[in-house]
Structure 1
Amino acid sequence: MTTTTVGHAQSLRRAQSSRAARDRHTLPRAERWRRRGPLLPALIFTIVVTQIPFLVTIWYSLRSRNLLNPGSDQFVGLANYGDIVLDSTFRQAAVNSVVITLGCVVVAMALGIGLALLLDRSFPGRSVARTLLITPFLLMPVASSVLWSMAILNPTFGLFNWTIGLVGIDPVDWTSTFPVLSIVMALVWQWTPFMMLLVLAGLQAQPKDVLEAAQMDGAGPGRTFVSITLPQLRRYIELGLLLGIIYVVNTFDQIYLMTAGGPGTASANLPFYIYQRAFLGFDVGQAAAMGVVVVIATIIVASAALRLIFRSFDVKE
């Protein structure tokens, strides 16, 4: 296909898109409402269960409200947000959230790519291996947290200490000595299958004729992966990273069951610290302010990531 042909095809698609947009704008108002009408119940439900509670949270964040002191309920404006900025524990929890999220997502994606490349090859028992590798993602977070804290990282009879004991290394209390690392390991174990499935879908969507052409041109496996396979997997990798960040940043179960945010608040992330302020400290005002800040930050990060993904789709087109 020549460059002229490609340019003509792109111009034709743009013209068709512009024509479709004009057709949508010239539809009668009744026809537009008839098409949008079936979506209204879902839109109303979404507003009721998300936007109204968020507005109530904003209202609470502007008040000094402690459940142990009912007389303290008064309007304080942005004072709660100012207290958050000065709260060193909140800053530490924010750093822990970034470290746990990026550590889990990046390592899980790297392992997922490696496992997907292995499962993309034909070998006896591939279906069994694929099922076993998917299993950690199917477990409930509570079950996986108990498994890691009791059977794998336990300082007395855990699998890790038994393994390092074979080479003469003294037992380690992982969740107390390396609490953030322990949480990241448990999260990586749980999220690697998800990344593997996304990347495996991208590998199986590759055009085989392109790979055969590269092989005939003398490209080795490494060169083929870097020049052809990796660009093909870009969308899947970006989508996996985005979804992983959105979900892992809300991690609560592993922290609550494995370290309880400790020692002290050394392994607390933002959701866990908000829980502590709301349900252990009963400070509804500051907890609501923290929740608003976290929601806004998450929306900004997700919007930027989605824009990058959509831009890559446009470039591909």
Structure 2
Amino acid sequence: MTALDTAPAPGGRAPSADGPRSRRREDGASRAEGWRRRLPLMPAFVFVVICTQIPFLLTIWYSLRSRNLLRPEGETFVGLRNYLDLAVDSTFRTAALNSILITLGCVLVSLLLGLGLALLLDRGFVGRGFIRTLLITPFLIMPVAGAMLWSISMFDPTYGLVNWLIGTVGISPVDWTSQFPMLSIIIALVWQWTPFMMLLLLAGLQSQTGDVLEAAQMDGAATWTTFVHITLPHLRFYLELSVLLGAIYVVNTFDQIYLMTAGGPGTASANLPFYIYQRAFLGFDIGQSAAMGVVTVIATIIIATFALRLIFTSINSKEQS
């Protein structure tokens, strides 16, 4: 041992031999505290893993095999052949395109209508609470009930309300779900999801401070100028969140397609969830339907991750400003 090893530290105190030991104790205590906080969440975590991740791993396993429920003895490992078959499956491409069209059409129209309704409900008038309750009602109706309502009560070619309305101006009855299947599905989805967009955007409008709007009004800014330069930038986070959540939910649409058009005529209105259902439960092709499910999940994760990064970027830029 040299004199440097026993020399007092700057400030007159000798180095403590318990320093590393005390740090280890502190690290152990912090880890114990972390586990103590996580422990109540472990049952929920285990439940989520069992209900989501294990089935997804099994789906990946089935997607690598040729498995048909009508020929269980012919099950073999085929690797990526099911995924390669999807590349030349024209029906799969049609279903993917329909999923994109239905999602974009529903989300964009619902967003615009929800923004307009949110702006109206942000104003004070007699009966606002009652009107807001009525506007929320479509979102509270079960998708199956909503699909039956539009298929029978609204779009029925003989007794539907829509044909009765257009008949009052001399237009011939239209079989909406057969002649315009995609439009019929989008209208039913817009009716259901507009209240969801309205609630999110209304929350954003009500979080806006009135001082900024009063200052703009005192400066002589027009209503449209105030909306474009003050209100819309404030609503950017809520608009992006509405688009993200709406797209995640709408891309999984099944009830409206199954009950209104059954994917028809032919496969003209089938989206990816409905086509996966057809291949799995009508065609009994578990291998290829599992491959389609994996591709759909991966594509949804990629889009959701990109959208979440945009949202977090806007949040960080807003906090820094």
Q: TM-score, normalised by structure 1?
A: 0.91
Q: Residue deviations 1:42-64, cap 9 Å, x none?
A: 22221111111100000000000
Aligned residue number for residue 13 of structure 1: none
Distance 1:252 1:25, change over 3 A: farther
Distance 1:27 1:232, change over 3 A: farther
Q: Report how far residue 36 of structure 1 moved.
A: 2.5
The DSSP-based 3-state class of the residue aligned with 1:256 is helix
Task: Give the letter aligned to residue 178 of structure 1.
Answer: F
Task: In structure 2, list runs of 5 or more residues that go unmatched.
Answer: 1-25
The DSSP-based 3-state class of the residue aligned with 1:71 is helix
> Are 1:108 and 2:110 counterparts?
yes
Measure the CA separation in 1 of the matches of 2:31 and 2:114: 49
Measure the CA separation in 1 of the matches of 2:27 and 2:182: 53
Measure the CA separation in 1 of the matches of 2:260 and 2:236: 34
Q: Report how far residue 300 of structure 1 moved.
A: 0.5
Q: Report how far residue 40 of structure 1 moved.
A: 2.2
Aligned residue number for residue 166 of structure 2: 164
What are the within-5 Å matches in structure 2 for residues 244-259 of structure 1? 244-259=246-261
Q: Report how far residue 32 of structure 1 moved.
A: 2.7
Identical pairs, percent: 72
> Are 1:34 and 2:41 counterparts?
no
- Over 4 Å off, 4+ runs: 24-27
Aligned residue number for residue 6 of structure 1: none
Task: In structure 1, list runs of 5 or more residues that go unmatched.
Answer: 1-23
Q: Report how far residue 27 of structure 1 moved.
A: 6.4
Q: Report how far residue 305 of structure 1 moved.
A: 0.4
Measure the CA separation in 2 of the matches of 1:25 and 1:93: 53
What are the within-5 Å matches in structure 2 for residues 78-97 of structure 1? 78-97=80-99
Q: TM-score, normalised by structure 2?
A: 0.89
Q: CA RMSD in A?
A: 1.3
Q: Report how far residue 170 of structure 1 moved.
A: 1.0
Query: For 1:196, which of 192, 195, 198 is the aligned residue?
Result: 198
Q: Residue deviations 1:252-290, cap 9 Å, x none?
A: 000000000000000000000000000000000000000
Aligned residue number for residue 57 of structure 1: 59
Measure the CA separation in 2 of the matches of 1:196 and 1:117: 9
Task: Give the letter aligned to residue 81 of structure 2.
Answer: A
Aligned residue number for residue 305 of structure 2: 303
Q: Report how far residue 96 of structure 1 moved.
A: 0.1
Q: Report how far residue 25 of structure 1 moved.
A: 8.1
Aligned residue number for residue 174 of structure 1: 176
Structure (1 or 2) with the larger CA radius of gyration:
2
The DSSP-based 3-state class of the residue aligned with 1:163 is helix
Measure the CA separation in 1 of the matches of 2:78 and 2:38: 42
> Are 1:239 and 2:241 counterparts?
yes
